[in-house]
């Protein structure tokens, strides 16, 4: 099975697993089982009536199993892509307009992320009354608070500032 169809199509005689979207963002090649964390990062919980499609643990040539998230009518901001790269570093972002992929790129992990994560250390200066913006250095296997040096390797999605 081929991963060519960034808008949900698969190669050959295989069926369409996740329906096409008219305009919006397709997040493809997400490690299997991470789609719900992707939704958490994007702040999508269904309360705003977002139209989305999710494929979980579908076959993939590149990852063996992958998740796909399609969000109709929304293009991701760079901050959202940066945080997404922390939990889905192999993912591909596809911008779709009028059912055609007009832009496709792999996520790049930034060296640091600012103002998008909360430090889990209650003693960190960023969690107090001081107006200090959180800053995290991006590591190979997690993130490190630039102020208190707390390292987080799991549960990064739960630290997202909303």
- Which residues carry a binding-site annotation? 119, 124, 145, 148
Task: Quote the tokens at residue 82.
Answer: 């940066």
Question: Do residues 27 and 34 make contact, with C-beta atoms less than 8 angstroms apart?
Answer: no
Binding residue ranges for Zn(2+)? 119, 124, 145, 148
C-alpha dist (Å) from residue 87 to 19, 94, 114, 147 = 24, 17, 16, 22
Q: What are phi and psi of 118, to 5 degrees?
A: -105, 135
Kindly give, in sequence order, each residue whose CB lies less than 8 Å from that of residue 15, ignoring residues fewer than 6 positions away.
none
Task: Quote the tokens at residue 81.
Answer: 């892509």
CB burial string 9-18: b at 16+ within 10 A, e below: ebeeeeeeeb
DSSP H/E element including 47: none
């Amino acid at each position: 099975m081929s991963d060519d169809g960034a808008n949900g199509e698969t190669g050959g005689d295989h069926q369409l697993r996740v329906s096409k979207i008219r305009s919006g963002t397709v997040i493809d090649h997400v490690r299997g089982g991470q789609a719900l964390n992707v939704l958490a990062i994007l702040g999508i919980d269904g309360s705003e009536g977002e139209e989305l499609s999710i494929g979980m643990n579908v076959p993939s040539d590149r990852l063996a199993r992958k998740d796909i998230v399609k969000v109709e009518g929304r293009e991701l901001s760079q901050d959202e892509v940066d945080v997404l790269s922390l939990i889905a570093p192999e993912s591909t972002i596809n911008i779709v307009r009028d059912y055609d992929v007009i832009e496709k790129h792999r996520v790049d992990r930034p060296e640091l992320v600012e103002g998008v994560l909360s430090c889990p250390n209650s003693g960190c200066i960023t969690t107090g009354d001081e107006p200090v913006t959180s800053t995290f250095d991006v590591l190979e296997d997690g993130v490190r608070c630039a102020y208190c040096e707390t390292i987080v390797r799991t549960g990064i999605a739960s630290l997202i500032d909303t």
